[in-house]
Amino acid sequence: MSEARDQILGSIRRSLKRGPLEETQRAGLEQRLAAPRRNLVPARAAALPHAAQIDLFLKMAEEVQTTVMRVARVGDVPAAVADYLSQRNLPSRLVMTPDPQLDDIPWGDRPMLEIRRGRAEDRDQVGVTACFAGIAETGTLMLVSGPESPTRNNFLPETHIVVVRGKQVVASYEEGWTRLREKAMPRTVNFITGPSRTGDIEQRLELGAHGPRRLHIVLIDDEAAS
């Protein structure tokens, strides 16, 4: 359909009353893309010291029905996960992404947790993943896809538990992009702000429309170590 392509581009140029862009104009636009500049970033999170950004991240997450738990050490994560599940009568069988970020957690300390590492399937009710960053501004999780972090694990299980390190918390989406640009762009970047919801029936907020009904953050306060 190159004919359609040429016609559409031709129609755009005709409407704008010009031909194809001049070389210098193109170069300017290409430069704008090659070195992306940040626009206004709200002061809400950006103006805070990092410890306060972590507090804000958790506070904003709780506002949108995410539950949060702070632990002091990596070693505390298995107990935090096990307690969370037992308090809510949720199954202790869980699917965990093969993400190396989760490898240093001593899951063996909680033998009651039945862990399978891999891709989530429809039958999996509880999932554990790591994340790429936490955005303080709106309590948003930033997750990226890859061989060790399949996207479906963020959506299929009814309960999604995310392990976040304190040093992963950044102020803004822009800081998330800056960190991601140090790597290659993955197939999928998920910004997740709270559990799945819908207001499609009489504008009444209901959780768990298609994605997780529960979203739980376990945050490791690793500031001292980093």
Partner 1 sequence: MQPTSHAFKENAREALGNANLQKALTLMRSGFPERRAAAIARLPEFEALREEAKAIKNHVLEHLDFYLETFEQQVTARGGQVHWCRTPQEARETVLAICRRLDAKTVTKGKTMIAEEIALNDYLEENGVTPVETDLGEYIIQIRKEYPSHVIAPAIHLVKEQVAASFRATHTELDPNRRLEDAPTLVAEARAVLRQKFLAADVGITGANFCIAETGSTIIVTNEGNGDLTQTLTKAHIVLASLEKLVPTLEDVSTILRVLARSATGQEFSTYTTVSTGPRRPEDTDGPGEFHVVFLDNGRSAMLGTEFQDMLRCIRCGACMNHCPVYATVGGHAYGWVYPGPMGAVLTPTLVGVAEAGHLPNASTFCGRCESVCPMKIPLPKMMRHWREREFEKQLSPAAYRYGLKLWAFFASHPPLYQAATALMTRLLGWFGGPRGRFRSLPLAQGWTQGRDMPAPEGRSFMSLWAERRKNGDAA
Tell whether residue 116 is a contact of partner 1 (CB under 8 A).
no
Can residue 63 be called a binding residue for partner 1 (CB under 8 A)?
yes
CA dihedral for 122, 79, 70, 175, sign (positive or negative): negative
List the Cα angle 77/80/142 in 5-degree steps.
Answer: 65
Residue 205 or 224: which CB sits closer to partner 1? 205
Q: Does 125 bind partner 1 (CB under 8 A)?
A: no
Helix (H) or strand (E) holding 24: helix 23-34
Distance of closest approach, residue 157 Cβ to partner 1, in angstroms: 11
Instruction: Give the span between the Cα atoms of 88 and 72, in whole angstroms.
Output: 23
Binding partner 1 (rule: CB under 8 A), the pick from 68, 145, 221, 222 is 145
| # residues contacting partner 1 (CB under 8 A) | 77
The residue type of 42 is P
Stretch that binds partner 1, among 49-57, 86-94, 163-171, 195-203 (CB under 8 A): 195-203
Query: In the set 171, 192, 218, 219, which binds partner 1 (CB under 8 A)?
Result: 192
Q: Which of 74, 90, 189, 222 binds partner 1 (CB under 8 A)?
A: 189
List binders of partner 1 among 6-45 (CB under 8 A).
Answer: 7-9, 11-13, 15-17, 20-21, 25-26, 29-30, 32-33, 36-40, 42-44
Q: What long-range pairs does 5-12 form, CB within 8 A, spacing at least 24?
A: none
| Cβ-based nearer residue to partner 1, 39 or 87 | 39
Should residue 123 be labelled a site residue for partner 1 when binding is judged by CB under 8 A?
A: no
CA nearest to 191, candidates 219, 151, 221 = 151
| Number of residues that this document lists for the chain | 226
**Nearest distance from residue 75's CB to partner 1, in Å?**
29
What is the longest distance spanned by two Cα atoms in the chain?
71
Q: How many beta carbons lie within 10 A of that of residue 210, not counting itself?
A: 9
Whole-number CA gyration radius for the chain: 22
Among 82, 95, 99, 140, binds partner 1 (CB under 8 A): 140
**Per rule CB under 8 A, is residue 154 in the interface with partner 1?**
yes
Does 62 interact with partner 1 (rule: CB under 8 A)? no
CA-CA distances (angstroms) from residue 117 to 93, 96, 97, 144, 204? 11, 5, 5, 17, 36
* Interface of this chain with partner 1, residues 81 to 110, rule: CB under 8 A: none
